């Protein structure tokens, strides 16, 4: 039988292991990033992640991909690769088809160092008002630098597919596609910026902005014997709200309410959505109260009605702790009981018995005990 002392390290190991496991069970990427940002040191961040979470697969990505008619890019940043938190760096791999064009954009928080792997990039940038335009053909094995915040682009100037590798000095460099964001401003202001061309003309041009990666220049397409695709996807256009709505008769991209949760983070709720949410909340509260399922503001279900793995994991971890402490308590009392008889009296006999205070045994009260008294005491 295991002693009480030997049980302690075993129970400690059993209790500590589930806590780390359940704490991460089912966490989303956003949850992991949030946890990593508040950990005090690098060693804590390493301990928090599993080994395979330090590897990002650019060839089979689950997130970070941007597709267009001329190829695609795959980005690894702290927003989709938690291991980058605290490292101060990120990376994007570009897979460009012949004449594939990484359309003008900026990185508001990082400088980019772009390496051409197996083809020639035509690349240029504009830094700010008054700065000259910088342009280069970047051959295989060379790299171009794009300082933080500059408007820049890259195009595969060859007729074969190529790859580029772009490194950034910020774990969340950000990206702003110039054409989509500019034409995403209120049409009247865009029209005024372009010499008052009319909001209808703005809406027509905006509808034609292709996704990144797009097809490049006519010169490159003709040289490579390619024809520009007429059905280039345009899903990366700016979502519309009341303040930047297109004129009547133009549908534009999906409405803000139909876009992904990423876009929803930057949109103010409408009065109808607030009223609907309030009605839903009131209905849910009434139903919970009538059924007696009041949880004090904490629910095991998330916003989608699915079980919240974090809450469930914490509940299980607490339950394991409670069970562990019960086992420790039982082991402690069993160990003490093994030293006593069922009646609680000492049953050691003969010379093995001695009273606690030998010097005061003469004053000890007479009592009947189940032991043989020491010789010479009668």
pLDDT tens for residues 5-18?
444 444 444 444 44
Burial class (CB in 10 A: 0-12, 13-18, 19+), 190: buried
Residue 72 has pLDDT above 60, yes or no: yes
Residue ranges per domain, the chain? 1-26+309-339, 65-257
CA–CA separation, 308 and 304 (whole Å): 9
How much is the pLDDT for 372? 58
Per-residue burial over 122-142, b if 16 or more Cβ lie within 10 Å, else e, is bbbbbbeeeeeebeeebeeee
Q: Which of 73-87, 133-147, 228-242, 273-287 has the lowest mean pLDDT?
A: 273-287
Lowest mean pLDDT among 223-227, 292-296, 317-321: 292-296
Q: How far is CA 148 from CA 97, 173, 341, in A?
A: 26, 9, 80
Find the range with the poorest average confidence among 74-83, 124-133, 164-173, 294-303: 294-303
Q: What is the mean pLDDT of residues 170-174?
A: 96
As a whole number, the mean pLDDT across the chain is: 78
- pLDDT of 105 reads 98
Structure tokens given for 167: 């490194």
With 50 as the cut, is the pLDDT of residue 146 above it? yes
* DSSP string of 44-111, one letter each residue: HHHHHS-GGGG---SSS-SS-EEEETTEEEEEE-TTT-GGGTTT--EEEEEEE-TTEEEEEEE-TT--
Maximum C-alpha span of the chain: 123
Contact present, 213 and 102 (Cβ < 8 Å): yes
What pLDDT was estimated at residue 227?
Answer: 95
pLDDT at 352 over 70: no
% of the chain residues with pLDDT over 70? 67
d(CA 325, CA 241): 56
pLDDT (0 to 100) of residue 27 = 87
Whole-number pLDDT of residue 12: 47
For the chain, report the end-to-end CA distance as a whole number of angstroms: 40
Mean pLDDT in residue range 116-123:
97
Tokens of 17: 């292991």
The mean pLDDT of 212-239, rounded to a whole number, is: 95
Residue 320: the pLDDT is 81
Give the pLDDT score at 90.
98
Pick the residue with more confidence: 297 or 109?
109
CATH number of this structure's domain 65-257 = 2.60.120.10
pLDDT at 296 over 50: no
Confidence tier at 316 by pLDDT (50, 70, 90): confident
- The percent helix, strand, coil of the chain (3-state, each to 5) is 35, 15, 45
Of 62, 144, 77, nearest to 111 by C-alpha is 144
Lowest mean pLDDT among 131-135, 189-193, 260-264: 260-264
Instruction: Label residues 208-241 b or e (16+ Cβ within 10 Å = b).
Output: ebbbbbbbbeeebbeebebebeeeeebebbbbbe
Q: Is 149 exposed, middle or buried (0-12, 13-18, 19+ CB in 10 A)?
A: middle
Average pLDDT, integer, range 265-286: 41
* 68 vs 261, more confident: 68
Residue 322 has what pLDDT?
84
Question: Could you read off the pLDDT of 361-374 as tens digits, one per residue?
Answer: 545 555 555 555 55
**pLDDT tens, residue by residue, 47-57:** 999 999 999 99
Would the pLDDT of 101 be above 60? yes
């Amino acid at each position: 039988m295991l002693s009480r002392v030997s049980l302690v390290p075993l129970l400690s190991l059993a209790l500590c292991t589930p806590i780390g496991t359940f704490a991460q069970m089912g966490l989303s990427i956003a949850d992991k990033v949030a946890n990593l940002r508040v950990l005090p040191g690098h060693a804590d961040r390493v301990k928090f992640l599993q080994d395979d979470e330090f590897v990002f697969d650019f060839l089979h990505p689950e997130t970070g991909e941007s597709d267009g008619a001329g190829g695609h890019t795959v980005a690894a940043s702290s927003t989709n690769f938690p291991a980058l938190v605290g490292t101060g760096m990120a990376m994007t791999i570009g897979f460009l088809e012949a004449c594939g064009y990484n359309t003008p954009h900026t990185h508001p928080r990082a400088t980019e160092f772009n390496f051409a792997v197996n083809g020639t990039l035509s690349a240029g940038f504009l830094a700010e008002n008054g700065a000259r335009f910088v342009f280069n053909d970047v051959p295989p094995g060379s790299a171009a630098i794009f300082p933080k915040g500059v408007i820049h682009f890259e195009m595969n100037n060859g007729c074969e597919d190529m790859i580029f590798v772009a490194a950034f000095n910020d774990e969340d460099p950000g990206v702003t596609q110039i054409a989509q964001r500019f034409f995403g401003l209120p049409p009247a202001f865009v029209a005024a910026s372009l010499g008052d061309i009319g909001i209808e003309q703005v809406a027509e041009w905006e509808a034609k902005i292709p996704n990144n990666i797009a097809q490049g220049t006519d010169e490159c397409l003709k040289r490579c014997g390619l024809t520009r695709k007429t059905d280039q996807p345009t899903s990366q256009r700016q979502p519309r709200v009341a303040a930047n709505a297109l004129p009547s008769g133009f549908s534009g991209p999906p409405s803000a309410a139909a876009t992904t949760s990423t876009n929803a983070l930057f949109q103010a709720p409408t009065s109808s959505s607030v009223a609907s949410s309030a009605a839903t909340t009131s209905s849910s509260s009434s139903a919970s109260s009538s059924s007696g399922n009041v949880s004090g503001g904490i629910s095991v279900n998330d916003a989608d009605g699915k079980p919240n793995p974090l809450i469930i994991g914490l509940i299980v971890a607490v339950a394991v702790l409670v069970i562990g402490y019960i086992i420790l308590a039982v082991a402690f009392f069993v160990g003490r009981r093994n030293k006593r008889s069922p009646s609680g009296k000492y049953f050691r006999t003969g010379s093995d018995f001695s009273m606690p205070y030998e010097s005061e045994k003469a004053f000890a009260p007479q009592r009947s005990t189940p032991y043989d008294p020491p010789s010479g005491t009668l």
